[in-house]
Structure 1
Amino acid sequence: MKLTAFSDIALRVLLLMGGLPGGTLLSTQRIAEGVGAPYHHVTKTVAKLRSMGLLASQRGRAGGVILTESGLAASLGSVLRELEANTAIVECEADETSCPLNHGCKLRGALARAREAFYRELDGVTIADLVNERQVGRVAVTIGLVPPSDAFA
Protein backbone atom coordinates (compact mmCIF):
# COMPACT_ATOMS: atom_id res chain seq x y z
CA MET A 1 0.00 0.00 0.00
CA LYS A 2 1.30 3.43 -0.90
CA LEU A 3 0.36 6.52 1.08
CA THR A 4 -0.64 9.72 -0.68
CA ALA A 5 1.70 12.71 -0.79
CA PHE A 6 -0.82 14.49 1.46
CA SER A 7 -0.42 11.84 4.19
CA ASP A 8 3.35 11.91 3.77
CA ILE A 9 3.43 15.67 4.37
CA ALA A 10 1.01 15.35 7.30
CA LEU A 11 3.23 12.78 9.00
CA ARG A 12 6.30 14.96 8.44
CA VAL A 13 4.48 17.92 10.00
CA LEU A 14 3.43 15.89 13.03
CA LEU A 15 6.94 14.48 13.53
CA LEU A 16 8.55 17.90 13.19
CA MET A 17 6.15 19.52 15.62
CA GLY A 18 6.42 16.60 18.05
CA GLY A 19 10.19 16.80 18.13
CA LEU A 20 10.30 20.47 19.09
CA PRO A 21 10.25 21.64 22.71
CA GLY A 22 6.71 21.73 24.10
CA GLY A 23 4.85 24.93 23.36
CA THR A 24 6.89 25.82 20.26
CA LEU A 25 4.80 27.78 17.77
CA LEU A 26 5.80 27.65 14.11
CA SER A 27 4.46 29.52 11.13
CA THR A 28 3.22 27.48 8.22
CA GLN A 29 6.09 28.88 6.16
CA ARG A 30 8.68 27.59 8.64
CA ILE A 31 6.93 24.23 8.79
CA ALA A 32 7.08 24.03 4.99
CA GLU A 33 10.81 24.76 5.08
CA GLY A 34 11.31 22.20 7.84
CA VAL A 35 9.48 19.36 6.12
CA GLY A 36 10.76 20.17 2.63
CA ALA A 37 7.34 20.56 1.04
CA PRO A 38 5.69 23.37 -0.93
CA TYR A 39 4.04 26.03 1.23
CA HIS A 40 0.68 25.63 -0.53
CA HIS A 41 0.58 21.88 0.24
CA VAL A 42 1.63 22.41 3.85
CA THR A 43 -1.08 25.04 4.33
CA LYS A 44 -3.76 22.54 3.25
CA THR A 45 -2.21 19.83 5.38
CA VAL A 46 -2.05 22.02 8.48
CA ALA A 47 -5.70 22.98 7.98
CA LYS A 48 -6.70 19.31 7.86
CA LEU A 49 -4.61 18.44 10.93
CA ARG A 50 -6.22 21.36 12.77
CA SER A 51 -9.69 20.10 11.84
CA MET A 52 -8.69 16.70 13.23
CA GLY A 53 -7.63 18.33 16.53
CA LEU A 54 -3.99 17.31 16.13
CA LEU A 55 -2.71 20.86 15.70
CA ALA A 56 -3.92 24.16 17.12
CA SER A 57 -3.20 27.62 15.84
CA GLN A 58 -2.78 30.99 17.43
CA ARG A 59 -3.32 34.15 15.44
CA GLY A 60 -1.33 37.32 15.64
CA ARG A 61 2.22 38.51 15.42
CA ALA A 62 3.52 35.90 17.84
CA GLY A 63 1.15 33.24 16.54
CA GLY A 64 1.71 30.01 14.75
CA VAL A 65 0.85 26.34 14.86
CA ILE A 66 1.40 24.03 17.80
CA LEU A 67 0.99 20.28 18.27
CA THR A 68 -1.83 19.44 20.68
CA GLU A 69 -1.60 16.81 23.39
CA SER A 70 -4.06 14.69 21.44
CA GLY A 71 -1.83 15.14 18.38
CA LEU A 72 1.13 13.72 20.24
CA ALA A 73 -0.96 10.85 21.61
CA ALA A 74 -2.74 10.09 18.32
CA SER A 75 -2.32 6.62 16.90
CA LEU A 76 -0.67 6.41 13.52
CA GLY A 77 -3.41 4.06 12.34
CA SER A 78 -6.23 6.45 13.22
CA VAL A 79 -4.43 9.42 11.64
CA LEU A 80 -3.88 7.53 8.39
CA ARG A 81 -7.45 6.17 8.35
CA GLU A 82 -8.72 9.73 8.38
CA LEU A 83 -6.19 11.12 5.91
CA GLU A 84 -6.52 8.22 3.46
CA ALA A 85 -10.29 7.76 3.86
CA ASN A 86 -11.15 8.50 0.24
CA THR A 87 -8.12 6.95 -1.40
CA ALA A 88 -8.78 3.97 -3.63
CA ILE A 89 -6.24 1.14 -3.71
CA VAL A 90 -7.37 0.11 -7.18
CA GLU A 91 -9.21 2.10 -9.82
CA CYS A 92 -12.43 0.11 -9.51
CA GLU A 93 -12.89 1.34 -5.95
CA ALA A 94 -13.09 4.90 -7.21
CA ASP A 95 -15.20 4.16 -10.28
CA GLU A 96 -17.18 0.94 -10.11
CA THR A 97 -18.25 1.27 -13.75
CA SER A 98 -14.67 1.11 -15.05
CA CYS A 99 -14.33 -2.67 -14.70
CA PRO A 100 -16.33 -5.19 -16.69
CA LEU A 101 -15.72 -7.75 -13.89
CA ASN A 102 -17.40 -5.52 -11.32
CA HIS A 103 -20.51 -7.63 -10.70
CA GLY A 104 -19.94 -9.84 -7.64
CA CYS A 105 -16.30 -8.76 -7.32
CA LYS A 106 -14.50 -10.07 -4.26
CA LEU A 107 -11.27 -8.17 -4.89
CA ARG A 108 -12.50 -4.91 -3.38
CA GLY A 109 -13.50 -6.68 -0.15
CA ALA A 110 -10.15 -8.44 0.10
CA LEU A 111 -8.30 -5.17 -0.47
CA ALA A 112 -10.46 -3.36 2.11
CA ARG A 113 -9.60 -6.03 4.68
CA ALA A 114 -5.90 -5.74 3.82
CA ARG A 115 -6.04 -1.95 4.19
CA GLU A 116 -7.72 -2.28 7.59
CA ALA A 117 -5.06 -4.81 8.68
CA PHE A 118 -2.41 -2.25 7.67
CA TYR A 119 -4.09 0.45 9.78
CA ARG A 120 -4.69 -1.96 12.67
CA GLU A 121 -0.97 -2.75 12.76
CA LEU A 122 -0.30 0.99 13.13
CA ASP A 123 -2.96 1.56 15.80
CA GLY A 124 -0.49 0.68 18.55
CA VAL A 125 2.03 3.30 17.39
CA THR A 126 1.56 6.90 18.50
CA ILE A 127 3.07 10.06 17.05
CA ALA A 128 5.02 10.37 20.33
CA ASP A 129 6.54 6.92 19.69
CA LEU A 130 7.91 8.13 16.36
CA VAL A 131 9.33 11.46 17.47
CA ASN A 132 13.09 11.60 17.28
CA GLU A 133 14.47 14.82 18.79
CA ARG A 134 17.90 14.13 17.38
CA GLN A 135 16.46 13.93 13.88
CA VAL A 136 14.32 17.04 14.35
CA GLY A 137 17.22 18.97 15.93
CA ARG A 138 19.03 19.31 12.62
CA VAL A 139 15.86 20.56 10.95
CA ALA A 140 15.24 23.01 13.79
CA VAL A 141 18.65 24.57 13.21
CA THR A 142 18.03 24.96 9.46
CA ILE A 143 14.78 26.85 10.08
CA GLY A 144 16.34 29.10 12.71
CA LEU A 145 15.22 27.46 15.94
CA VAL A 146 17.20 26.35 18.94
CA PRO A 147 17.18 22.54 18.79
CA PRO A 148 15.92 20.38 21.65
CA SER A 149 18.56 20.12 24.38
CA ASP A 150 19.59 16.53 23.59
CA ALA A 151 19.23 16.82 19.82
CA PHE A 152 22.90 16.31 19.09
CA ALA A 153 23.78 14.03 22.02
Structure 2
Amino acid sequence: MRLTAFSDIALRVLLLMGGLPRGTMLSTQRIADGVGAPYNHVAKTVARLRGMGLLCSQRGRSGGVVLTDAGCKASVGRVLRELEADTAIVECEADETACPLNHGCRLRRALAGAREAFYRELDGVSVAELVNPRQVGPIAVQLGLRPPGPDSAAVGGSAPAV
Protein backbone atom coordinates (compact mmCIF):
# COMPACT_ATOMS: atom_id res chain seq x y z
CA MET A 1 0.00 0.00 0.00
CA ARG A 2 1.24 3.48 -0.80
CA LEU A 3 0.48 6.46 1.42
CA THR A 4 -0.56 9.79 -0.01
CA ALA A 5 1.82 12.75 0.18
CA PHE A 6 -0.65 14.33 2.62
CA SER A 7 -0.28 11.42 5.07
CA ASP A 8 3.48 11.42 4.64
CA ILE A 9 3.65 15.11 5.58
CA ALA A 10 1.27 14.56 8.50
CA LEU A 11 3.49 11.83 9.94
CA ARG A 12 6.58 13.99 9.46
CA VAL A 13 4.88 16.88 11.29
CA LEU A 14 3.86 14.63 14.18
CA LEU A 15 7.35 13.13 14.47
CA LEU A 16 9.02 16.54 14.38
CA MET A 17 6.70 18.03 16.98
CA GLY A 18 6.93 14.89 19.11
CA GLY A 19 10.71 15.05 19.12
CA LEU A 20 10.91 18.61 20.39
CA PRO A 21 10.88 19.51 24.08
CA ARG A 22 7.40 19.37 25.54
CA GLY A 23 5.35 22.48 24.84
CA THR A 24 7.59 23.77 22.03
CA MET A 25 5.55 25.99 19.74
CA LEU A 26 6.52 26.37 16.09
CA SER A 27 5.05 28.44 13.30
CA THR A 28 3.72 26.59 10.30
CA GLN A 29 6.58 28.04 8.24
CA ARG A 30 9.17 26.64 10.63
CA ILE A 31 7.43 23.26 10.58
CA ALA A 32 7.49 23.33 6.77
CA ASP A 33 11.21 24.11 6.86
CA GLY A 34 11.77 21.33 9.38
CA VAL A 35 9.92 18.61 7.47
CA GLY A 36 11.14 19.74 4.05
CA ALA A 37 7.71 20.28 2.51
CA PRO A 38 6.04 23.25 0.83
CA TYR A 39 4.37 25.72 3.19
CA ASN A 40 0.93 25.40 1.56
CA HIS A 41 0.93 21.60 1.98
CA VAL A 42 2.07 21.84 5.59
CA ALA A 43 -0.54 24.52 6.37
CA LYS A 44 -3.34 22.23 5.11
CA THR A 45 -1.87 19.29 7.00
CA VAL A 46 -1.55 21.27 10.24
CA ALA A 47 -5.18 22.40 9.90
CA ARG A 48 -6.32 18.80 9.48
CA LEU A 49 -4.22 17.54 12.40
CA ARG A 50 -5.58 20.39 14.51
CA GLY A 51 -9.11 19.33 13.57
CA MET A 52 -8.26 15.80 14.69
CA GLY A 53 -7.12 17.14 18.07
CA LEU A 54 -3.50 16.09 17.53
CA LEU A 55 -2.15 19.62 17.34
CA CYS A 56 -3.20 22.79 19.07
CA SER A 57 -2.54 26.27 17.73
CA GLN A 58 -2.44 29.79 19.04
CA ARG A 59 -2.71 32.81 16.78
CA GLY A 60 -0.65 35.93 17.03
CA ARG A 61 2.94 37.06 17.17
CA SER A 62 3.94 34.62 19.90
CA GLY A 63 1.63 31.89 18.64
CA GLY A 64 2.32 28.69 16.83
CA VAL A 65 1.51 25.03 16.81
CA VAL A 66 2.13 22.55 19.62
CA LEU A 67 1.63 18.79 19.84
CA THR A 68 -1.21 17.81 22.16
CA ASP A 69 -1.08 14.93 24.58
CA ALA A 70 -3.56 13.14 22.30
CA GLY A 71 -1.19 13.73 19.37
CA CYS A 72 1.69 12.20 21.26
CA LYS A 73 -0.34 9.14 22.25
CA ALA A 74 -2.16 8.76 18.91
CA SER A 75 -1.94 5.44 17.15
CA VAL A 76 -0.32 5.67 13.73
CA GLY A 77 -3.03 3.32 12.44
CA ARG A 78 -5.79 5.64 13.64
CA VAL A 79 -4.09 8.69 12.12
CA LEU A 80 -3.61 7.01 8.75
CA ARG A 81 -7.08 5.46 8.77
CA GLU A 82 -8.57 8.92 9.16
CA LEU A 83 -6.26 10.66 6.68
CA GLU A 84 -6.45 7.93 4.03
CA ALA A 85 -10.19 7.22 4.40
CA ASP A 86 -11.07 8.13 0.82
CA THR A 87 -7.98 6.68 -0.86
CA ALA A 88 -8.60 3.67 -3.07
CA ILE A 89 -5.87 1.07 -3.53
CA VAL A 90 -7.00 0.53 -7.12
CA GLU A 91 -9.33 2.51 -9.37
CA CYS A 92 -12.20 0.04 -9.17
CA GLU A 93 -12.69 0.95 -5.51
CA ALA A 94 -13.12 4.61 -6.38
CA ASP A 95 -15.44 4.28 -9.36
CA GLU A 96 -17.75 1.28 -9.69
CA THR A 97 -18.20 1.89 -13.43
CA ALA A 98 -14.44 1.84 -14.18
CA CYS A 99 -14.13 -1.93 -14.51
CA PRO A 100 -16.27 -4.25 -16.64
CA LEU A 101 -15.55 -7.08 -14.17
CA ASN A 102 -17.01 -5.09 -11.27
CA HIS A 103 -20.20 -7.14 -10.88
CA GLY A 104 -19.63 -9.68 -8.11
CA CYS A 105 -15.96 -8.77 -7.79
CA ARG A 106 -14.17 -10.41 -4.87
CA LEU A 107 -10.96 -8.45 -5.37
CA ARG A 108 -12.45 -5.28 -3.89
CA ARG A 109 -13.31 -7.09 -0.64
CA ALA A 110 -9.83 -8.66 -0.48
CA LEU A 111 -8.17 -5.29 -1.01
CA ALA A 112 -10.32 -3.66 1.66
CA GLY A 113 -9.32 -6.43 4.07
CA ALA A 114 -5.64 -5.96 3.22
CA ARG A 115 -5.91 -2.20 3.80
CA GLU A 116 -7.56 -2.78 7.18
CA ALA A 117 -4.84 -5.29 8.13
CA PHE A 118 -2.24 -2.62 7.29
CA TYR A 119 -3.97 -0.10 9.58
CA ARG A 120 -4.50 -2.71 12.30
CA GLU A 121 -0.77 -3.46 12.33
CA LEU A 122 -0.07 0.24 12.91
CA ASP A 123 -2.78 0.57 15.59
CA GLY A 124 -0.28 -0.76 18.12
CA VAL A 125 2.31 1.92 17.28
CA SER A 126 1.99 5.38 18.82
CA VAL A 127 3.53 8.58 17.55
CA ALA A 128 5.55 8.70 20.79
CA GLU A 129 7.13 5.31 20.04
CA LEU A 130 8.44 6.54 16.69
CA VAL A 131 10.04 9.73 18.02
CA ASN A 132 13.83 9.67 18.05
CA PRO A 133 15.48 12.75 19.62
CA ARG A 134 18.71 12.01 17.71
CA GLN A 135 16.74 12.21 14.48
CA VAL A 136 15.01 15.47 15.42
CA GLY A 137 18.08 17.09 17.04
CA PRO A 138 19.75 18.32 13.83
CA ILE A 139 16.44 19.70 12.58
CA ALA A 140 15.89 21.53 15.88
CA VAL A 141 19.34 23.13 15.57
CA GLN A 142 18.60 24.08 11.95
CA LEU A 143 15.41 25.80 13.17
CA GLY A 144 17.34 27.69 15.86
CA LEU A 145 16.09 25.58 18.77
CA ARG A 146 17.97 23.69 21.44
CA PRO A 147 18.33 20.07 20.46
CA PRO A 148 16.10 17.83 22.53
CA GLY A 149 17.75 15.80 25.24
CA PRO A 150 16.77 12.20 25.91
CA ASP A 151 14.40 13.29 28.71
CA SER A 152 13.06 16.49 27.15
CA ALA A 153 11.03 15.12 24.22
CA ALA A 154 7.28 15.45 24.30
CA VAL A 155 7.04 11.66 24.53
CA GLY A 156 4.62 10.82 27.30
CA GLY A 157 4.30 14.43 28.37
CA SER A 158 1.38 16.73 28.09
CA ALA A 159 1.25 19.89 26.11
CA PRO A 160 0.15 23.11 27.72
CA ALA A 161 -3.43 24.15 27.21
CA VAL A 162 -3.56 26.67 24.40
State the TM-score bracket (shorter-chain normalisation). over 0.9
How many residue pairs end up in the alignment? 151
How far apart, in 1, do the equivalents of 2:93 and 2:25 lie?
Answer: 40
Q: Once superposed, what is the RMSD of the aligned Cα atoms?
A: 1.0
Secondary structure in structure 2 of the residue aligned to 1:56: strand
Q: CA deviation at 1:52?
A: 0.3
Q: Which residue of 2 aligns with 1:66?
A: 66
How far apart, in 1, do the equivalents of 2:88 and 2:57 lie?
Answer: 31
Gaps of 5+ in 2: 152-162
Q: Which residue of 2 aligns with 1:47?
A: 47
Q: CA deviation at 1:144?
A: 1.2
Q: CA deviation at 1:59?
A: 1.1
The letter for the 2-side match of 1:31 is I
How far apart, in 2, do the equivalents of 1:145 and 1:12 lie?
Answer: 18
TM-score (norm 2): 0.91
The letter for the 2-side match of 1:139 is I
Q: Which residue of 2 aligns with 1:76?
A: 76
TM-score (norm 1): 0.97
Q: Which residue of 2 aligns with 1:33?
A: 33
* Greater helix fraction, Structure 1 or Structure 2: 1
Secondary structure in structure 2 of the residue aligned to 1:57: strand
How far apart, in 2, do the equivalents of 1:94 and 1:134 lie?
Answer: 41
The letter for the 2-side match of 1:43 is A
Secondary structure in structure 1 of the residue aligned to 2:56: strand
The letter for the 2-side match of 1:57 is S
Q: Encode CA deviations 1:88-112: one digit per residue, 9 max, x unaligned.
A: 0000111110100000011110000
Residue pairs, 1:51-130, within 5 angstroms: 51-130=51-130
Q: Encode CA deviations 1:8-58: one digit per residue, 9 max, x unaligned.
A: 000000000000000000000000000000000000000000000000001
Gaps of 5+ in 1: none
The letter for the 1-side match of 2:24 is T
Higher relative contact order (CA 8 A, sep 6+): 2
Q: Which residue of 2 aligns with 1:132?
A: 132
Structure 1 runs (4+) greater than 3 angstroms displaced? none
Secondary structure in structure 1 of the residue aligned to 2:97: helix
Secondary structure in structure 2 of the residue aligned to 1:146: coil
Secondary structure in structure 2 of the residue aligned to 1:6: helix
Q: CA deviation at 1:150?
A: 4.2
Percentage of pairs with the same residue: 77
